Amino acid sequence: MLYLFWISVFTIIVAFIAFRLFKPKHVIVYEYQKGLKYQKGRFVGVLTPGSYWHSSTYSMIYPVDVRPEFVTVQGQDVLSADGVTVKISMAAEFQITDPNLAVNKTANFRTALYLILQMAMREIVGKEKIDTLIENRAGIGGKLL
């Protein structure tokens, strides 16, 4: 009888140590998110929406919102090809299609996108004369793509 008592105590102690060591954590990745899973600091994969358990000691799940977002580039003074200063602002819609690329390959993808849009707009406007820009305002968006 004493033997069963010590087996029970040992089992409880082992279970307690395992629970403390692995610290199971529950994470829900919602329909509008993708989850980035890391184990021991390394990226291991993209998770689809659902419910996940993981060891918080050795792994982490980072949810990324993949819904469409908007970015606004405020008024910029840009020189056209014929030397006329034009004030241009822009609004753009974007959506994350590859969360691994957005989070792991750039320090801040929103700042990078803002700068890319700003530089592209300056390049497009800088190559055109003012008359051409005014006539083809709607075509600038196609060039930005």
Q: Structural domain boundaries of the chain?
A: 2-65, 69-144
pTM of the full predicted structure?
A: 0.76
Looking at residue 32, its pLDDT comes to 97
In the three-class reduction of DSSP (H, G, I as helix; E, B as strand; rest coil), residue 40 is classed as coil
Q: Are 141 and 122 in contact (CB under 8 A)?
A: no
CATH superfamily label, 69-144: Band 7 domain (3.30.479.30)
Looking at residue 18, its pLDDT comes to 65
Residue 52 corresponds to which tokens in the numbers above?
Answer: 């996940």
Q: Are 130 and 86 in contact (CB under 8 A)?
A: yes
Looking at residue 1, its pLDDT comes to 66
